[in-house]
Amino acid sequence: MFVCSKCMKRQKDEWRGPPLRKQLKQALKARGLGKRLRVVPCGCLDLCPKHGVTMARGSELRDAGKLRVLRNGDDPRTAIDWLSDLG
């Protein structure tokens, strides 16, 4: 999963608890996906929400350029649910 580092930096004070990247990594480990999937900070994905962080799956970027926004206040585990849909 690619996560926009610019969005994470801008929203740093908005997230409760540990930094978002750390929360995502912990959720992956809890589901046993820590070795199979990675959280990779990347440059700008050209979708800049004011109150959220832009994410993308590598396979969808290549084909259709689909992006997802994790809004402030959303549970980071919803992003892991989205990742688990890989099939």
**Threshold 0.85, pTM exceeds:** no
Query: Is the per-residue pLDDT at 86 higher than 60?
Result: no
Neighbours of 32 (CB within 10 A): 8
pLDDT, tens digit, for every residue of 1-59? Answer: 899 999 988 877 777 778 888 888 888 888 888 888 888 999 998 888 988 999 988 87
DSSP assigned state of 87: -
Nearest Cα neighbor of 1 from 27, 46, 30 is 27
- Would you list the domain boundaries of the chain? 2-84
Residue 48: φ, ψ to 5°: -115, 85
